[in-house]
Chains A and B, each alone.
Chain A
Amino acid sequence: MSSPPVEARGLVKQYGRITAVDHVDVTVNAGDVYGFLGPNGAGKTTTLRMMLGLIYPTGGSVRVFGRDPITEGAAALEGVAGFVEAPRFYPYLSARKNLEMMASYDGNGARDRVEAVLDTVEMTARADDKVGGYSHGMRQRLGIAGALLRDPKLLILDEPATGLDPGGMRDMRALIRRLADGGMTVLLSSHLLAEVEELCDRVAIVRAGRIVYEGAIADLKATAETAYRVRTNDNTRALEICVAQAGVSAVRADGLEIRMEANEPAMAELSVALVHANLKIHALVPETATLEDLFFHLTEGSTPGEISAPVIDQVAAGGAV
């Protein structure tokens, strides 16, 4: 069996007394769009740098396609490309020259791909301008172009949409989706929940250098949106309907509301049943954990449901946590 694109075991990075990465285990399988989710300063970037051989681990091991970037250096990065934090270029060279330089450093026919990758990130028209005059969004796109030059099987992207305007974010996600659909394995670090939810199949959630959840995003969500509360104009009748509804359990009246546990399809059926019974639904609310709540729960230790809406909005919009 071939080695997985990324396999980190017990990865540790200490800076003096500070442990930035604390026994991290991550496995990214071929074809995954893998989200590496956590607040700023959780150790995501440090972990990615170790995967790319930029930082030496204090302990543990990391393999990319079975090879060790620490002992083998650049040779271990065959088939791997990406960037950590903002991609950086030589500001006094044009985008094309920067890409040509990277392609020379790549070998393997990368020089022939320069025009194609410029086209992929829609930068052909500005390719001869010096990078020093580029906007943040253009540099991010150029970073992707630089990564694609290597014709990678694994693309490692660190917060690729950070600092982009909404249109730029949308374009970036569309680009990543397109690349993933083309069969590329993507390891995407982000603190943007919406981004990870939209793009990723599996996630690792990091808190203070440790992995607090690893698995399918669907499994995470399945544990999340199970509790609901409903308020109607006639809760007595509604309670009977809820109890009778297939897939709905733990139904109980609670003051002006009815609380229950159910999955999404069952709740959809329930809402139809309530309407058919001529009941007016005043509220139908997933009671507790959304993905955001779970994220906070896992990364800050707060109880699901305690998070106020404005904070969640701030996180979803890209604010620092």
Chain B
Amino acid sequence: MRPGVGTVYRWELRKLISLKRTYLGLAAAAGVPLSFAITLALKKGQPNDVPFGAYVHQSGLAIPLVLLTFASAFLLPLITALVAGDIVAAEDQNGTLKTILTRSVQRGHVFFGKVLAALTYTIVSMVLLGGVSIVAGSIVSGFNPLRSLSGTTVSATSALWLVLASFAVYLVPLGTICLVGVMYSTVTRNSAAAVVGTLVTVLLIELVGILPGLGFLQPYLLTRQFPAWQGLLRQPIDWSPITHSVWVCALYWVPAMVAGYLVFLRRDVAGG
């Protein structure tokens, strides 16, 4: 079998498993919901200013949804950027790009193998955050029915499916940040610059959203796509923010991928 994207993808995962920084992000993805649940178990208060914040003591299934709002500000973009920003640049800094590009795998396959590995890491961190928050939340506040954003009550089982679907919808903008991170990693050839560049991009986009006179841009800002999952928690389900999020995110990740791919394909590997 000729080596291709699959070969690169498998080895990228093995390399991630061997790296300490991988576990740093995953520990945060598991640790934050755990400490949030523990805090709720010990204290009576609740975060009233976020969707589902008022229900965290009634249903454990409200906890993952509250965390989605909290985590979108900084935590999940950071976890994602940590690996996405490193995945190509680390090869530059190690000098190993020449090692893998003088084998029998095409450059394009190396690039997309890395893209898939970075996306996988993003998904795994989401699964961990979701899984831990659902389990810990259910232990602390019970596996109870949830009150939807429309005010109706949803059975616990249905709510669980909606929570899982919310995480899937949330992956669209988060995956976009991941792909932007890979682009930065390819273009800057420097891990730290790529991680910081990704986060600064997220912050700048957020900043644009609050600048006076630029309000018309808000629906097209990447960071404003994070709450799209809330459409799932209305009855009937409101799909419009979700479909909007899908195409708006594509406005970001498609150019990022094209730029990253072309740079990776055409660049000189002169270092190392």
Interface residues of A (CB under 8 A from B): 46, 49, 52-56, 73-75, 77-78, 81-93, 97, 101-102, 104-108, 146, 150
Bound-state CA distance A84–B101 (Å) is 12
With beta carbons under 8 angstroms apart, the residue of B8, B14, B94, B102 that contacts A52 is B102
In the complex with contacts A85-B272, A87-B99, A146-B99, A107-B19 CB distance below 8 A: no
State the Cβ distance, A88 to closest chain B Cβ, in Å: 4
Cβ 8 A contact of A108, one of B10, B19, B104: B104
Residues of A within 8 A of B107 (CB): 73-74
B264 vs chain A, min Cβ distance (A): 12
CB-CB under 8 A from A89, the residues of chain B are: 96, 99
A56 to B264: give the CA distance in the assembly, Å.
12
**Contact A54/B3 with A74-B106, A90-B94 known, Cβ cut-off 8 Å:** no
- Picked from B11, B18, B94, B269, the residue with its CB within 8 Å of the CB of A104 is B11
Task: Assess whether A102 is in contact with B270, with CB atoms less than 8 Å apart.
Answer: no
Contact of B104 among A77, A86, A146 (CB under 8 A): A77
**B-to-A contact residues, CB < 8 Å:** 1-3, 7-8, 10-11, 14-15, 18-19, 94-96, 98-107, 266, 268-270, 272
CB proximity of A135 to chain B, nearest CB, Å? 17
A106–B103 contact, CB under 8 A? yes
Contacts of A105 in B (CB 8 A): 3, 7-8, 11, 100, 103-105
Beyond A73-B107, A75-B106, A88-B94, whether A49 also contacts B270 by CB under 8 A is: yes
Q: Name 10 A/B residue pairs within 8 A (Cβ), A-sorted.
A: A49-B268, A73-B106, A77-B102, A88-B94, A88-B96, A104-B3, A106-B3, A107-B3, A107-B7, A146-B99
Residues of chain A within 8 A of B268, CB atoms compared: 49, 54-56
B-side contacts of A146, CB under 8 Å: 99
Task: State how many angstroms separate the Cβ of A94 from the closest Cβ of chain B.
Answer: 10
CB distance from A87 to the nearest CB of B (A): 7
Q: Which residue of A lies closest to B105 (CB)?
A: A105
Residues of chain B contacted by A46 (CB below 8 angstroms): 270
Given that A74-B103, A150-B103 are known contacts, is A56 also in contact with B266, CB under 8 Å in the complex?
yes
| A104 CA / B104 CA spacing, docked (Å) | 9
In the bound assembly, the distance between CA atoms of A55 and B96 in angstroms comes to: 15
- Contact pick for A81, options B15, B19, B102, CB 8 Å: B102
A67 to B103, CA, bound (A): 15
**Contact present for B270 and A88 (CB under 8 Å):** no
Partner pick for A74 among B1, B18, B105, CB 8 A cutoff: B105
Interface contact B270-A55, CB-CB below 8 Å: yes
Alpha-carbon distance A226/B22, docked complex (angstroms)? 65
Q: Which residues in B have their C-beta under 8 angstroms from that of A54?
A: 98, 101-102, 268-270
Separation of A73 and B107 alpha carbons in the complex (Å): 7
A108 CA / B18 CA spacing, docked (Å) = 26
Are the C-beta atoms of A93 and B15 separated by less than 8 Å? yes
CA distance A4 to B43 in the complex (A): 77
> Chain A residues with Cβ under 8 A from B96's Cβ?
88-90
Known contacts A49-B269, A55-B269, A107-B2; is-contact A92 B98 (Cβ 8 Å): no
Cβ–Cβ < 8 Å partners of A77 in chain B: 102-104
> For the complex, what is the distance from the CA of A90 to the CA of B14, rounded to whole Å?
12
